[in-house]
Structure 1
Amino acid sequence: MADPILSLTDVTLTLKGNAGAVEILHGISLDVNQGETLGLIGPSGSGKSSLLMLMGGLERATGGKVLALGQDLTAMNEDALARFRRNHMGVVFQSFHLIPTMTALENVATPLELAGAPDAFDRAEDELRAVGLGTRIDHYPSQMSGGEQQRVALARAAAPRPDILLADEPTGNLDGANGEAIMELLFGLRDKHGSTLVLVTHAPELAARCDRVVRLSDGRVEAQAKAAE
């Protein structure tokens, strides 16, 4: 059997707050296989987003080990982590995180340019057309609806053809129709590019489409099962 694309071993996360140290994650061990779609569910404050951030090297584990594509993220410095994400990961946030002074095309092309892609703008335009925004490529985020901004964010994450696609509540800020559209696009991009998808969600219909669901409670893995079970 192939090695997992993501492997967490006894991972802990403690953050410093005004009232002292706060333990967010407690000894989590979890593997994600190549091509798998994993849903992270649980109540607010259970550690779902923190766990996703650890998988992406956007938060550093206090203890334990996080491996991605066989590389130890916990041993990398910030520059090495940034290069690793640029080359292997796409991240979609609930709040979009688009650059307001850039057009949709420029937002999507930026990570491709940073990776040295000579055809960055052509690929960015292709991705925007793939998410139904062919007529909006020259628009700025402030000129687009929330659903359109999330489509831009999806295109930006997918354009570099990431091995791992991480999504934190990708439908959380959208109404039902837009949320459904983004859900279809997210799974379509996974199928198109063959990415491994890990997503945090409160939406039962989104979790139900995952290959496996892991439920967190109080910073611990409470249960995991095939999504259909």
Structure 2
Amino acid sequence: MPDPIISLRDARLTLDGNAGQVEILRGISLDVARGETLGLVGPSGSGKSSLLMLLGGLEQATSGRISVLGRDLTTMDEDQLARFRRDHMGVVFQSFHLLPTMTALENVAIPLELAGVNDAFDRARQELEAVGLGARIGHYPAQLSGGEQQRVALARAAAPRPEILLADEPTGNLDGTTGTAIMDLLMGLRDRHGSTLVLVTHAPELAARCDRIIRLRDGQLDLSEVAA
């Protein structure tokens, strides 16, 4: 694989639990190509979301190396990771994490304003129109359905035009029809911005739309069930 955009070498994550230390990820080595769509699947507790958190610099690896766009995330402090994430990544969670006192337009414009984008609100409006919410830009999250709130979250993640999109169960709180529509939008955003997409999902039909599927089990890659 020529110059992977994401590269992990023996990445491990150990957290403190009630009964002592718990090994969450146990030596993950993985490369992701630029422009690839990678699906992370596996049973609950297998480490899928934790792996995504490492990729986004939202958790620090206990040991090993995590290289993203040629930068070693394990050498960065929290401020450096936050800036790196702001400049290069979009993250979509199962919970929408919208600010309730801000309109859809304001929620999408926030990361753009933080990045110093001059036309933050114009670009935010374009992204909301791209996910079919042009008529809802002045609405607050409480005035939107779950599917509409996730569309706002998608627009917010895509507005900075990130090189990498990370999505953690983005359809988990939605019904099947709405979830499929959200996945269509996510794939469309990836295509429009040329982003690399890493997706955590329990839904086989969503994973099947990825270029490659990686299965985790007990904090390790299940190499016996990796699909091409």
* TM-score range normalised by the length of the shorter chain: over 0.9
Q: Percent identity?
A: 78
Q: Which residue of 2 aligns with 1:18?
A: 18
Under a length normalisation based on structure 2, what TM-score does the superposition of the two structures give?
0.98
Deviation at 1:17?
1.1
Counterpart position of 1:155: 155
Letter in 1 for 2:84: F
Report deviation, 1:19: 1.4
Which one-letter code corresponds to 2:102 in the other structure?
M
Q: CA deviation at 1:18?
A: 1.6
**1:68-107 pair list within 5 angstroms:** 68-107=68-107
Q: Distance in 2 between matches of 1:17 and 1:197?
A: 31
Tell me the equivalent position of 1:40.
Answer: 40
1:121 equivalenced with 2:107 (yes/no): no
State the one-letter code of the partner of 1:81: L
Q: Which TM-score applies when normalising by structure 1? A: 0.98
- Tell me the CA shift for residue 101 of structure 1: 1.0
Q: Deviations over 1:115-172 (max 9, x none)?
A: 0000000000000000000111011111111000000000000000000000000100
Segments of 5+ residues of structure 1 without an aligned counterpart are none
Aligned residue type for 1:57: G
CA RMSD of aligned residues (A): 0.7
Aligned counterparts, 1:136-147, within 5 A: 136-147=136-147
SS at match of 2:107: helix
Query: Are 1:225 and 2:227 counterparts?
Result: yes
Equivalent AA in structure 2 for residue 162 of structure 1: P
Aligned residue in 2 for 1:55: 55
Q: Tell me the alpha carbon deviations over residues 92-121 of structure 1, each in whole angstroms, 9 at most, x when there is no partner.
A: 000011111111000000000000000000
Q: Distance in 2 between matches of 1:2 and 1:105?
A: 39
For 1:201 and 1:41, the matched residues in 2 are separated by: 6
Aligned residues: 226
AA partner of residue 10 (structure 1): D
Matched residue, 1:66: 66
Task: Please list, as runs of the form range in 1=range in 2, the aligned pairs for 1:162-173 lying within 5 A after superposition.
Answer: 162-173=162-173
Distance 2:145 2:188 in 1: 21
CA-CA distance at 1:216 after TM superposition? 0.2
Alignment partner of 1:9 is 2:3? no
What amino acid is the match of 1:125?
Answer: R
- Runs of 4 or more off by more than 3 Å in structure 1? none
